[in-house]
Amino acid sequence: MGNREMEELIPLVNRLQDAFSALGQSCLLELPQIAVVGGQSAGKSSVLENFVGRDFLPRGSGIVTRRPLVLQLVTSKAEYAEFLHCKGKKFTDFDEVRHEIEAETDRVTGMNKGISSIPINLRVYSPHVLNLTLIDLPGITKVPVGDQPPDIEYQIREMIMQFITRENCLILAVTPANTDLANSDALKLAKEVDPQGLRTIGVITKLDLMDEGTDARDVLENKLLPLRRGYVGVVNRSQKDIDGKKDIKAAMLAERKFFLSHPAYRHIADRMGTPHLQKVLNQQLTNHIRDTLPNFRNKLQGQLLSIEHEVEAYKNFKPEDPTRKTKALLQMVQQFAVDFEKRIEGSGDQVDTLELSGGAKINRIFHERFPFEIVKMEFNEKELRREISYAIKNIHGIRTGLFTPDMAFEAIVKKQIVKLKGPSLKSVDLVIQELINTVKKCTKKLANFPRLCEETERIVANHIREREGKTKDQVLLLIDIQVSYINTNHEDFIGFANAQQRSSQVHKKNTIGNQVIRKGWLTISNIGIMKGGSKGYWFVLTAESLSWYKDDEEKEKKYMLPLDNLKVRDVEKSFMSSKHIFALFNTEQRNVYKDYRFLELACDSQEDVDSWKASLLRAGVYPDKSLTESDENGQAENFSMDPQLERQVETIRNLVDSYMSIINKCIRDLIPKTIMHLMINNVKDFINSELLAQLYSSEDQNTLMEESAEQAQRRDEMLRMYQALKEALVIIGDINTATTFTPAPPPVDDSWIQHSRRSPPPSPTTQRRPTLSAPLVRPTAGRGPAPAIPSPGPHSGAPPGPLPARPVASFPQRQRRARSAAAGPVPAHAGPAQRPQVWCHEG
């Protein structure tokens, strides 16, 4: 094809698209559409053909383009055309393309000049084009002919506006040189959608058809009726040239000869003609490409940064290096040890924001779950009193004792201490499970080497199981030590004398004061629908009360509930609710909150429920065991205690309570320390010091360090992508260097487009249209002074009264402002503001 300017851009765009293809991505480089707008027979189709470089559009007089033609140019090795309505059929002869356009137009619009807004979609594949969209639109007309509807002007206008309103559309406003530019509908439409004039280029056609002695020099120099991007004059082939098969290349040579030989245009010949129009459009395409490059660069740099860390590990990969596997094994084991320690000890660089894990979860086991399990086991009040009474009676035997036996105290205390084994061993199991989960998370980084991952996980898990037995033995030993000797001389033990004086509710508020224990969101779930339904509040638990607020700003307090005589109990989860519920109630059968005996509180998970229960334990609110102890099918004997026995039971109960508080405090301190020393720290030491040796002894190093097929493929892909990204960034830099950004021309006063149809007030001296005996234009250079305007003579048939006046047009017969003879000579290149204007009437 014949568009040399376009062909210079093709290699740049192809390089950019090839770079994105190497990345497996599409280059979304949407070049602007180019729409040709103008009146009938203005030469729009010829301008379009010259831009493409092929002769394929219908020609003739009157309205020839009666449907929009959306022409998509596609870069391809072969040259052919395809229509959307003829799928699968390739046209290699462009004369056949013209005939198909004519036939498809007639099929929809009929044979009698009808129009349609349904576009014809044509794709032209060629190695000489860019991926562009060109749009040939019907010419603007005002008078319907043939089968055209009465509102033909409105329909064509709406059809054109559908395309030129898009910001991605360049507008070629085509006006013939032998018509009135000031009344150009093409420029008026372009002004409506492009008020800044950045997308509009004026095209003046048929310069060779102007009347002898006239020219459009001032218009083409952008002095008269200026546009921001100015005008480009072109000379298209005549119908005689087309009939004579004059090709586009020959037509362009003739066009060049015309501008060089014409006295009015020879000084601007380098800015005229189809090649210059192609160059102007090419500048716009180049600007558009350059405008899109920063977004492409940012996208590529973001991708490069995201893989750079991973690629760094692959850069030095040398399959033939015998020491590579040894180095990789050492690095993997060291990284595993670092990750394990970070997950246990805590670190800011790998924070799990979805759930507790590693050291945080173990901490929760130590300080929430384990104390909660102890308290659940400890406070079974009714059973405890029954056991104490049986112990006292069994010690006295057949006799009635006068004193409280200390042997009963020891028997009960030892039994209570032994019960601590269950929660203690359970805490060991929970810690072991979390350690194994942590190991599995850390070995995910070893997934590139499946055998190494499996062996590491197996060796560490086996060591954890070995430590499990030793840790549990030590935990049991600690409890057995506590059972072996009951130290009644402990400084915190109350002794018999104080035990007799204490009330049964000895185990109330401890020494934590009224400090805040916990804050968080909970839902009150047992408020009826008529009273607002379930609602979430911000709860604050202290040592003395449970308060809730509207939100976590704690400005609007809803209620404060004292913790005296409160206990907590589980509530069965409803099948219609996903919440986990627990309830608070008063042991003295009083309402807890307003008219409610129970305050049901809901959490999102059972783990949250257990955590809140543990916090309530710290505040002295204990689990309720009354429901699980109800008579147990009549198993419990209905024994009665005389007052003396009751006092003895109460004394022993207080002594047991005092001593168990000492034991519990000791156990809650020692069990986490034991687990930490024998289990967690030992596992960390094992990973740091012995794991590597065990890996070497378990399997051959080559077997351990065999890559998975997926990893080998991923490494190759990552390295390829890394190189492709770098090459694409280089290409973008090359395009920036190889192309030049053409800044938009400064704004001009193009208000004449908007006001061109407004009639100025009639001059008192010109009440009738003059009879024009000579063209109202400046003659071509060398033809002498401009003729004076003749005075008006009688006008037969003229309507009575003055006619509306408007400026004389700027093209032949009406295209230059008329100058009066009295105005004197005017410089040849004077602008419109410098030239005197004469207002004439036009009938």
Which pLDDT tens digit goes with each residue over 548-594?
A: 888 888 888 888 888 888 888 888 776 666 788 888 888 888 888 87
Question: Could you tell me if 567 and 543 are in contact, meaning their C-beta atoms sit under 8 angstroms apart?
Answer: no
Taking only the tens place, the pLDDT of each residue in 241-286 is: 777 777 778 888 888 899 899 888 889 888 898 888 878 887 877 7
Q: Residue 156 corresponds to which tokens in the numbers above?
A: 């064509």
Find out whether 366 and 426 touch, Cβ atoms under 8 Å.
Answer: no
Find the range with the poorest average confidence among 212-226, 558-572, 682-696, 700-714. 700-714
What distance in Å separates the CA atoms of residue 165 and residue 694, rounded to the nearest whole number? 73
Residue 24 binned pLDDT confidence (cut-offs 50, 70, 90):
low
Selection from 313-322, 392-401, 600-609 with the highest mean pLDDT: 600-609
For residue 9, the model assigns a pLDDT of: 64
Is residue 189 predicted with pLDDT exceeding 70?
A: yes
Are the C-beta atoms of residues 336 and 443 closer than 8 Å to each other?
yes
Starting at the edge strand found earlier in the chain, the sheet holding 120-126 runs: 80-83, 120-126, 69-75, 132-136, 33-38, 169-176, 200-205, 231-233
**CA pair distance 381, 504, nearest whole angstrom:** 11
What are the b/e assignments for 212-225, b being 16+ CB within 10 Å? eebbbbbbbbbbbb
Task: Give yes or no for residue 204 having a pLDDT over 60.
Answer: yes
Which pLDDT band, with edges at 50, 70 and 90, does 676 fall under?
very high
Residue of 687 and 756 predicted with greater confidence: 687
pLDDT tier, 356 (very low <50, low <70, confident <90, very high otherwise): confident
Tell which wins on pLDDT, 592 or 499. 592
With a cut of 90, say whether residue 530 has pLDDT above it.
no
Collect contacts of 498-506 with beta carbons under 8 A, ≥24 apart.
498/654, 499/651, 499/652, 499/654, 499/655, 499/658, 500/647, 500/650, 500/651, 500/654, 502/654, 504/650, 504/653, 504/654, 506/654, 506/657, 506/658
d(CA 231, CA 214): 18
Taking Cα atoms as reference points, which of 547, 522, 515 lies closest to residue 619?
Answer: 515
Predicted confidence at residue 773, as pLDDT, reads 32
Q: Which residues pair with 806 in a beta bridge?
A: 840
For the CA atoms of 172, 178, 183, 187, what is the dihedral angle to 10 degrees? 10
Q: What's the pLDDT score for residue 369?
A: 84
Query: Binning pLDDT at 50, 70 and 90, where does residue 831 land?
Result: very low
For residues 73 and 126, is the Cβ–Cβ distance under 8 A? yes
Spell out the residues 6+ positions from residue 528 whose beta carbon is closer than 8 angstroms to its own: none
Report the mean per-residue pLDDT for the chain: 75
